[in-house]
Amino acid sequence: MQIVIQPNADAVAEYGADQFSRLLSKKPDAVLGLATGSTPVALYQKLIGRYQAGELSFAKATSFNLDEYLGLSPEHPQSYRYFMQQQLFDLIDIAPEHTHVPPGNAADPITACHDYETRIEAAGGIDLQLLGIGRNGHIGFNEPSSGLRSRTRVKTLTQATIHDNARFFTEGEYQPHLSITMGIGTILDARKVLLLATGEAKADAVKAMVEGPLSAACPASALQLHQHAVVVLDEAAASKLADLEFYRHIERENQLLLQRLGKS
Ligand code: GLP
């Protein structure tokens, strides 16, 4: 894992946006794996800004989102499809038919999960998968105890996740307890993975992911198996890492090497 520690959440978003910009300039028809939650919003705003400034185009890109609530239609304001339209898709030049979010209203969710995998494969696989992390270490909606080689499937949410995400729902509003999520195996198949975490509330999960054992108890720890996983943290999210200075040292060395190679 490459651990990148940035001074604040804005710098985390900037670093993440640079990863997308670099990929799209090299490969305009890249396949992007996207995420919801509050963490990626700042990154999406930067991508929108770069698109508006004419620096970036998504016209040839394809996207696949990680997950969706089961039982919500795409028009539902709490659905992840709606979130993506509002936060990104409606504000950039990506072709609507190139955007994919698991169908929360599928009549046959099991078949829909299988189809989602088939579509990712048909698109040539994901080039860059963006991730946040839940306080319990979940990625997508792969909750603790998820199979480390799991594929897209229906998952039951933990009470902790339902509680954490309750802030997006108004009182008395139906909040789903089930989801469709890419599996951990699906995420590990992406050619590059970019996980962003900000704020002290994520510090324990980050520590378990980076320095804990590889374990289904912390689904994000599966990224230890990935050949190209970049974890971008602000100071608060990194604050519980034991080897903080070592990670900073490696990153400084990486930057020097890139400078020497003329790639920074
Ligand atoms: C949700 C999403 C995850 C996301 C997590 C953290 O449960 N399914 O993909 O990473 O929340 O969200 P936030 O960034 O709001 O902390």
- Return the pLDDT at 264: 67
Is 98 in contact with 65 (CB distance < 8 Å)? no
The model carries a pTM of 0.96
Ligand 1: nearest atom to the Cα of 179: 8
What is the CB < 6 Å shell around ligand 1? 35-39, 66-67, 132-134, 140-141, 161, 165
Condensed to tens digits (0 to 9), the pLDDT of residues 204-231 reads: 999 999 999 999 999 999 999 999 999 9
pLDDT score, position 263: 76
Q: Report the C-alpha gap between 252 and 204 in whole angstroms.
A: 24
Catalytic annotation, residues: 67, 136, 138, 143
Reading phi first (left if > 0) and then psi (alpha if -120 to 50, else beta), residue 79 is in beta
Rounded distance between C-alpha atoms, residue 231 and residue 223, angstroms? 9
d(CA 239, CA 204): 9
**DSSP secondary structure string for all residues of 193-234:** EEEEE-SGGGHHHHHHHHHS-SBTTBGGGGGGG-TTEEEEEE
Pocket test residue of 133, 146, 169 for ligand 1, highest count of atoms within 8 A of CB = 133
DSSP state of 30: P
**What gap in Å lies between CA 249 and CA 246, rounded to an integer?**
5
From atom 6 of ligand 1, which residue's Cα is the shortest distance away?
A: 134
The per-residue pLDDT for 101 is 98
Q: Are 135 and 160 in contact (CB under 8 A)?
A: yes
Task: Please identify which residue in the block is written with the tokens 């670093």.
Answer: 15
d(CA 234, CA 10): 9
Across the beta sheet with 178-181, the strand order is 67-69, 178-181, 153-156
Tokens of 30: 């890249």
193: left (phi over 0), alpha (psi -120 to 50) or beta: beta
Q: What is the pLDDT of residues 145-165, one digit of tens each?
A: 999 999 999 999 999 999 988
Strands (E) located in 21-97: 31-34, 62-65, 67-69
Q: Each residue of 249-258: pLDDT tens digit?
A: 999 999 899 8
Block mean pLDDT (10 aa), the chain, length 264: 97 98 98 97 98 98 98 95 98 98 96 98 98 97 97 95 90 93 98 98 98 98 98 98 94 91 79
- Angle at alpha carbon of residue 188, lines to 263 and 259, rounded to 5°: 10
